[in-house]
Structure 1
């Protein structure tokens, strides 16, 4: 590959600029040869209009269970062929699933993200819809640009890691190699090294769901991240410190998430949607409600299928006992009232945990039932503070994170880049606590007023503020524990060692002779990201279109 000119992330990048940024990130990461594999595997799948034609689909009924990004993208694509779509959503007041922007004001100028928020430059399917809906984006920063507070010691992180080396490292028993390296290079030594030893054609399997993975991938997917670190002779002290600074609860999961993040160089260049991630879900919603969506006119599509939203409705039974149709029994939330409807096809996008509460007649395949029973979900907690002033800006922090060994785990600062000088900074929203696993459960289970007090004190300790200084700064707050949110069961799916190999393919397979299809970030190669939801929704829609050719739906 030719030498790549240095480029800087700018707002609203074109596809060409995104390619340049990705090439640059891969080159700096030492594996530019992976560029086309990553682009091709994360691009949107084949356009649905190239698979089937409206005469075969018009008037056919498809149910989409769940109005997260997977369900919305599936409905958006299916409508191009004239399918009539009913979307069932448990939440009465909200769509978007795990994309959840919380707005503190009616003008939606003061907001924070309780769910998915960042778009890596490699996530081509997300960018496809961002471009289609003309959403505006700006760069954001995932690096630790604020303070590190660990074992009662606070230091400002610096590019060379000198503060951490001087004050934090002596608290841990580290090897000589670890002491000489900035902590942010540790994962390069202990995880990226193994990743880059694998052949490019084997590495691409990180972004694939396969029945049979190569031996190397199978071997690594059978290990926890902690075991890989131990194999590469990282000290127990180094592993413990990384669990504070970077890995969090991931050390006990398999390496698929961390490898995927490193493979696509997700942290090298990220963006956020201006106005909040929910703007993407809202764009889908408005398009689906429109009789003449402008996004379709660009594709030369004049006649589209109908879309019906059923919010505040839960699916309680999926019945595939009759040939060529699927019957759904649904219940209005808060009542015992049930309704029945028959569909030609059903796309299920809800978490697999939710299917444990759905009666299946007949039962799905044994492999699918195993996936439904065993797939785990990582819980997460986020707390937002509406602040009367951006105190972090006064301390020279513009975007990025602070990290701590306290239960809040991370503080995420809003970015105010130089090109946004007109941004009103008198009031601002801070992600005061972003935690995973048991720390998330601990914070989420505390009574709300006590939790607010605890988080304020921990933010003060981490940021070097005086005791109770935030009492006069924090105007409002909002907390969400994803495991307590109705219908979600956690923030994202996480695999135990070996599960990626044994469960991922079965989780994605259709049931009832192709009449029930599955989508969602949980069964994609990118769990926890918008990319996984959107791409899997498009793939499920394409599969439904294929079914019109293989098994024409009933009249």
Structure 2
């Protein structure tokens, strides 16, 4: 852990140290009355054991490994296996690395950009921060809280009196609803459920294991919406609460999917990587291809393994050899159409299950695994970014301007995120912010962001219509003159992840009972411990860099154990 520096504000300082992040997490858990979860969260979210303590280099050099997918899970697995000397081949069907991490740059100097994957990293995501530290990446504050609501044609700032006065009357709330809504915990009902669990039971929200406790099994039968119904809320109240707490997109998913996010405070203090999230997978790529070996500074170059990345190569089949001692991989160069078959000692599949379904595996994988691949859902996500000449959201008086954070709306946009780069803090708590920048500067507005069920509203619309609608809705929400946005619009970019070939979605979101039925079997190896799995579908943190990176490290360690067991006796 780094040296502490008491003179610095621990909230939203740029590039926080390990000590800073520990203090932030500790303070936030204390505020929620569950400080006892601190060490468990850190242990669950930290990187696994160093791979060099599992397998010696002299054994690792005997391992020939195939990795399917050059997203963060595949790159992390390769980065770790390279440390013990393995010979690694990465097959990537697309022509780029990064998978669901994708940064789009609007200018040639890369000053203005939008991230189409995960847009922020919580302080509790220790494995993601491990790699951020490894590659010396700079981070900056990202305000994740709701600043404004536009619901049922009424706009209001996120202040209790304004919400009560302007939003509540728009919904047909019952007397029972109104009484319960006086208790703030009902708005975020997750805290009520967390308080019913012991420390060990809360760990199971993150853990992937064969058997779960009775309370976790019972909770996994509930959808997030059903959790509110259990407390007697009306449909109108539930609908309103979904927007107020910004979780409407999760209502049909498993309650545990949301509980585990609340457990590790994913919605609290967040950061983003300066220059774009793509900086992390690019750093991994440069390390494994030996363009930058600083991350391997304590390993001799001759001891490092070789990594060959085959872009534009689609894996079409995974088979056992006749003696079942190796794995055969059939792949096609998508440009030349040449088909090849190669043998490997081990394989890691990191690709989304929708892609894995199209690979010939039916005679190679167990029925349990095939059922998990079939049943686990991979949800869509869409975003629209606007590059504008001036930041209209930062204009006006102190009580009117929006600096960072988001707007939640029941319009098809669903949510709008405002950049946090003009933030300054007015007090030592770091919780009161003020404008530090010129609103007349150009900026990037995440004008629409939705995932899961809410992404349906904006996913199947032609780009031209979508941008026109986005502009129309933004002008309506912010009470701007018609045509104003067209006059300041420099550029735009939209993306729907279901349209991206070989990914066809953005994030796993468990349905009720999926965790109990499929989380363990999804991660289990196949083909006599020759084929391992990593990536979003088998991670314990869906839709995050944390989940991808940690699952890649775990799969690499599992292979290291197999190699060590094979050659060390």
Class of the TM-score when normalised by the shorter of the 2 chains: over 0.9
Q: Specify whether residues 102 and 181 from structure 1 end up closer, same or farther in structure 2 by C-alpha distance, changes over 3 A only.
A: farther
Equivalent position of 2:424 in the other structure: 418
- 1:269 has 2:269 as partner: yes
2:394–2:439 Cα contact (<8 Å) kept: no
Equivalent residue runs for 1:226-305 within 5 Å: 226-245=225-244, 246-290=246-290, 293-298=293-298, 303-305=303-305
- 1:391 has 2:392 as partner: yes
Shift of 1:372: 0.6
Equivalent residue runs for 1:188-199 within 5 Å: 190-199=189-198
Equivalent position of 2:3 in the other structure: none
Q: Specify whether residues 187 and 140 from structure 1 end up closer, same or farther in structure 2 by C-alpha distance, changes over 3 A only.
A: farther
Which of 191-200 and 210-219 deviates more? 191-200
Please state whether the residue corresponding to 1:411 is helix, strand or coil. strand
Shift of 1:173: 2.4
Shift of 1:320: 1.6
Shift of 1:180: 6.4
Q: Which runs of 4+ in 1 moved over 4 A?
A: 175-178, 180-184, 186-189, 299-302, 419-425
Please state whether the residue corresponding to 2:499 is helix, strand or coil. coil
Please state whether the residue corresponding to 1:440 is helix, strand or coil. helix
Equivalent residue runs for 1:210-229 within 5 Å: 210-229=209-228
2:65–2:345 Cα contact (<8 Å) kept: yes
Equivalent position of 1:404 in the other structure: 409
Distance 1:471 1:184 in 2: 43
Shift of 1:95: 1.1
Distance 2:75 2:303 in 1: 19
Please state whether the residue corresponding to 2:498 is helix, strand or coil. coil
Equivalent residue runs for 1:297-446 within 5 Å: 297-298=297-298, 303-322=303-322, 323-333=324-334, 336-360=337-361, 362-395=363-396, 396-415=401-420, 416-418=422-424, 426-446=441-461
Shift of 1:438: 4.8
Equivalent position of 1:539 in the other structure: 554
1:248–1:436 Cα contact (<8 Å) kept: no
Shift of 1:242: 2.3
Shift of 1:528: 0.7
Matched residue count: 545
Deviations 1:383-411 (CA, angstroms, capped at 9, x unpaired): 11111111111142111001110111000
Please state whether the residue corresponding to 2:88 is helix, strand or coil. strand
Equivalent residue runs for 1:103-182 within 5 Å: 103-145=105-147, 147-158=148-159, 161-176=160-175, 178-179=177-178
Distance 1:422 1:60 in 2: 54
Q: Specify whether residues 39 and 107 from structure 1 end up closer, same or farther in structure 2 by C-alpha distance, changes over 3 A only.
A: same
Shift of 1:344: 1.0
Distance 1:183 1:282 in 2: 48
Shift of 1:257: 1.9
Give the structure-1-normalised TM-score. Answer: 0.94
Shift of 1:342: 1.1
Q: Specify whether residues 206 and 270 from structure 1 end up closer, same or farther in structure 2 by C-alpha distance, changes over 3 A only.
A: same
Shift of 1:444: 2.6
Equivalent position of 1:201 in the other structure: 200
Give the structure-2-normalised TM-score. Answer: 0.92
1:511–1:517 Cα contact (<8 Å) kept: yes
Equivalent position of 1:472 in the other structure: 487
Distance 1:41 1:302 in 2: 34
1:178–1:186 Cα contact (<8 Å) kept: no
Equivalent residue runs for 1:502-513 within 5 Å: 502-513=517-528
Equivalent position of 2:84 in the other structure: 81
Query: Of 85, 91, 96, which residue of structure 1 is paired with 2:94?
Result: 91
Which of 481-490 and 77-86 deviates more? 481-490
Which of 226-235 and 41-50 deviates more? 226-235
Distance 1:547 1:7 in 2: 42
1:9–1:21 Cα contact (<8 Å) kept: no
Distance 1:444 1:183 in 2: 36
Equivalent position of 1:456 in the other structure: 471
Cα RMSD for the two superposed structures = 2.1
Q: Specify whether residues 361 and 175 from structure 1 end up closer, same or farther in structure 2 by C-alpha distance, changes over 3 A only.
A: closer
1:64–1:87 Cα contact (<8 Å) kept: yes
Which of 502-511 and 236-245 deviates more? 236-245
Deviations 1:87-142 (CA, angstroms, capped at 9, x unpaired): 111111x2111111111112111001111121111000001000010000111111
2:393–2:402 Cα contact (<8 Å) kept: yes
Shift of 1:7: 4.0
2:391–2:439 Cα contact (<8 Å) kept: no
Please state whether the residue corresponding to 2:407 is helix, strand or coil. strand
1:441–1:481 Cα contact (<8 Å) kept: no
Deviations 1:244-289 (CA, angstroms, capped at 9, x unpaired): 3322231111112210111111222111111110010111111111
Which of 39-48 and 195-204 deviates more? 195-204
Shift of 1:162: 1.5
Which of 417-426 and 495-504 deviates more? 417-426
Distance 1:49 1:175 in 2: 61
Shift of 1:185: 3.3
Q: Specify whether residues 424 and 318 from structure 1 end up closer, same or farther in structure 2 by C-alpha distance, changes over 3 A only.
A: farther
Distance 2:169 2:58 in 1: 71
1:521–1:531 Cα contact (<8 Å) kept: no
Q: Specify whether residues 180 and 411 from structure 1 end up closer, same or farther in structure 2 by C-alpha distance, changes over 3 A only.
A: farther
1:381–1:434 Cα contact (<8 Å) kept: yes
Shift of 1:475: 1.5
Distance 1:54 1:541 in 2: 14
1:313–1:333 Cα contact (<8 Å) kept: yes
Shift of 1:466: 2.0
